[in-house]
Amino acid sequence: MNLEERLAVTFLQEHPPEAALVLERMPADHRAAVVRDARTAAAPALGEMLPSAVADCVARLDAVDAAPALDNLALDRAVAVLRRLPGDAALRTIEALPADKQEQLRRVLGYPEGTAGALMDPMVPELPVDVSVAEARVRLRRAGQGLLHYVYVVDRSRILVGVLEISDLLRAGGRTPVRRVMRDPDHTLPAWMPAAAVRTHPGWDSAPMMPVTDEAGRLLGALRYETLRRLEREGDAGRSGQLATATVGALGELFHLGLAGFIEGVAAAAAPRGGQTSSRLAEYEEGGR
């Protein structure tokens, strides 16, 4: 990787909001070249961009080239992008992703945009109701999932029957049946509930996340309150402000396609002074020797 490419990757990873502004201002073909070349390094900046702009970029790439960046996006961001892809582009892109990510996306994409099912995390910890606490601990360790506030308990038909707090699971005796430690779910979110109704649900007064169920009461996933708050903040605030000249000034006057083309966009957005930029770049090159 040459100097221009290293600079671009560093900027994409360490300054995602500013990088997103640059990418959105670039011609679509150049933006697609950046994602193709940067691969997973593009994900932080793509996560800050408007989903429509990311979708326009992904649609110009082969699915294999788009997959690394999409695989590293938060699930709700990836879903928002895939919903905006034309024709069967979404299907081709999903098929290029790892199997576990494919399963998550297909579950969520089965529900209309703006519903609890479309916003949920489908990969939440769950346990069968007919195991002991000791076995529950083993299963959770083996699953390798990051533990959240709760573990959801289901019967063999995946009907939600209980909620288990992690602290209770750790305190209980190993031989104790899980059904004796769990409690009944206080609130659930129907998968088809509109987001407007989800935001005002009384369950948020007592829980930071709630389970999402289908019409039969089967557990589909869970929705975090923070997900709703983040979407509200993004909708209200948008993105304004200026790129930090001190950050991007040392990147200018590099004109190539792909990652180096991204540097060109950074230079144009920050409008650095040519002489100052050239001297800083020289210092960077000298320091790297």
**Whether residue 203 has pLDDT greater than 80:** yes
> Which residue ranges does the chain devote to CATH 1.25.60.10?
1-110+239-289
The residue that leads in pLDDT, 191 or 281, is 191
**Whether residue 276 has pLDDT greater than 50:** no
Of 3.20.20.70, 3.40.640.10, 1.25.60.10, 1.10.357.10, the CATH number of 1-110+239-289 is 1.25.60.10
**Range ranked top by mean pLDDT from 80-94, 141-155, 198-212, 224-238:** 198-212
> Which residue ranges does the chain devote to CATH 3.10.580.10?
126-226
How many angstroms from the chain centroid is the CA of residue 257? 27
Cβ neighbours of residue 138 closer than 8 Å, sequence gap 6 or more: none
Give the CATH class of 126-226.
Answer: alpha beta
How many angstroms from the chain centroid is the CA of residue 134? 33
Burial (CB < 10 A; 0-12, 13-18, 19+), residue 142, is exposed
For residue 146, CA distances in Å to 50, 120, 142, 149 come to: 28, 16, 11, 10
For residue 163, list its beta bridge partners: 152, 183
Hey, what amino acid is at 180?
R
**Range ranked top by mean pLDDT from 123-127, 134-138, 244-248, 280-284:** 134-138
Which pLDDT score is estimated for 71?
Answer: 92
Q: What mean pLDDT, rounded, does the chain reach?
A: 80
Q: pTM here?
A: 0.61
